[in-house]
Structure 1
Amino acid sequence: MQDLIQNILKHLCYTELVYLRINKKLQRNLSVSEIENLIRKAILATTKIEHIGKNYYLYDYTDSIRITINANTFRIITVDSLKHC
């Protein structure tokens, strides 16, 4: 699992729209750097990874979030609050 986490961190990328989507889904108003720091911290704290279809689902129970990442491009798709999943 650690090899996969390091590979994700190495290739991780974002789109402009994903920053807006993350703030909307988490009901926050974070800056780009705050979002990137949150994602990095959550990925490093991940205790469960699911590979379903074309996506990875990373679970960070400390911050109660699930990160959805495209398994081919390593692009962040969205972040969901586990309280609402």
Structure 2
Amino acid sequence: MSTYKKEILNHICYTALVYGRINKKLNLQLSNWEIEKMLLEIIQNTKEINFEKRGKNIYISNESGDIRITINSFTIRVITVDRIKQK
């Protein structure tokens, strides 16, 4: 089994632009620190089975929070966060 979760928790990073992108996509108005805290809690509470590597990205799907986090697998940098569309 992979250790994506541990690797991400230890090395996650952000760009200056991603904070605005996350606020826009989730329709929020959080500070950078609040976004980092929110994502850290989501990642910690998501089971490793919901971490999927496709190509260069890792997708973390947290259905209880209706959120999917996209992370670059090489840099462990957050790319974006999307709402999971309910079926």
Task: Name the CA distance, whole Å, in 1 between partners of 2:35 and 2:2.
Answer: 22
Q: How does 1:21-32 map to 2 (within 5 A)?
A: 21-32=21-32
Stretches (4+) displaced over 6 A: none
SS at match of 2:6: helix
Task: Name the CA distance, whole Å, in 2 between partners of 1:74 and 1:68.
Answer: 10
Q: How does 1:44-59 map to 2 (within 5 A)?
A: 44-47=44-47, 48-59=50-61
SS at match of 1:50: strand
Gaps of 5+ in 2: none
Residue type of the alignment partner of 2:69: I
Identical-residue share of aligned pairs (%): 49
Give the root-mean-square deviation of aligned CA atoms. Answer: 1.6
Task: Name the CA distance, whole Å, in 2 between partners of 1:57 and 1:68.
Answer: 5
Task: Name the CA distance, whole Å, in 1 between partners of 2:54 and 2:2.
Answer: 18
Task: Name the CA distance, whole Å, in 2 between partners of 1:51 and 1:70.
Answer: 9
- TM-score, length basis structure 1: 0.91
How far residue 2 of structure 1 moved from its aligned partner, in angstroms, is: 7.8
Contact 1:26–1:79 (Cα < 8 Å) also in 2: yes
Task: Name the CA distance, whole Å, in 1 between partners of 2:59 and 2:4.
Answer: 12
Equivalent residue for 1:18?
18
How many residue pairs were aligned? Answer: 84
How far residue 83 of structure 1 moved from its aligned partner, in angstroms, is: 3.1
Task: Name the CA distance, whole Å, in 2 between partners of 1:45 and 1:83.
Answer: 20
